[in-house]
Amino acid sequence: MHENTPRLHGVLVWMDLEMTGLDPEIDVIVEIATLITDDDLNVVAEGPDLVIHQSDEVLAAMSKVVLDMHTKSGLLEAIKTSTTTLETAGLATLEFIRQHIPEARTIPLCGNSIGTDRRFLAKYLPEIENYLHYRSVDVSTIKELSRRWY
């Protein structure tokens, strides 16, 4: 590895966002959960799992599929009763990440279909998106390749 290349091993940041839909131009984040593992996927630290309050107007704009999913999981009720703002959730999440990764842009973001989450982070929480390395570890790639090859 070139000596100026950032170290990309040691820990991994896993993140899962729930949204009101898949389009960051019209949909919003309603939950953000973060986990830190080591390279062998042992949990190093469990971050905050934060449900973000949204107005009835925002929730009414969700598609039936998303509304049903969030209702069945209990997330819809949690969104309505939450007092956490997106700003508060973003600050708490970034602080958690910084506690375990003191140097910006050295650790990739990991998760399932993480490209969608990254688009929402870029739109609504760019300070988190900018803190993480541009590389991603997307486990949906492994699922897709396994389904095709095995």
CATH number of the structural domain spanning residue 100: 3.30.420.10
In a domain, 2, yes or no: no
For residue 92, pLDDT over 80 is answered with yes
CA angle (99, 18, 21) in 5-degree steps = 140
Cβ 113 vs Cβ 140: under 8 Å:
yes
Task: Please give the residue range of the domain that contains residue 144.
Answer: 11-149
Q: How many CB atoms lie within 10 A of CB 140?
A: 13
Residue-level pLDDT at 4: 56
**Count of the separate structural domains present in the chain:** 1
- Range with the lowest mean pLDDT among 1-10, 44-53, 132-141? 1-10
In a domain, 5, yes or no: no
113-129 pLDDT, tens per residue? 999 999 999 999 999 99
Residue 104 in domain: yes
134 given a catalytic annotation? yes
List CB contacts of 130: < 8 A, sequence separation 6 or more.
104, 105
- Which pLDDT score, from 0 to 100, does residue 1 have? 47
Strand partners, 110: 14, 137
Cα–Cα distances (Å) from 99 to 21, 92, 106, 125, 142, in that order, read 31, 11, 14, 18, 29
pLDDT tens, residue by residue, 127-137:
999 999 999 99
The pLDDT of residue 7 is 53
Residue 4 included in any domain: no
Which member of 124, 131, 134, 150 is catalytic?
A: 134
Residue 1 falls inside a structural domain: no
- Does residue 95 lie in a domain region? yes
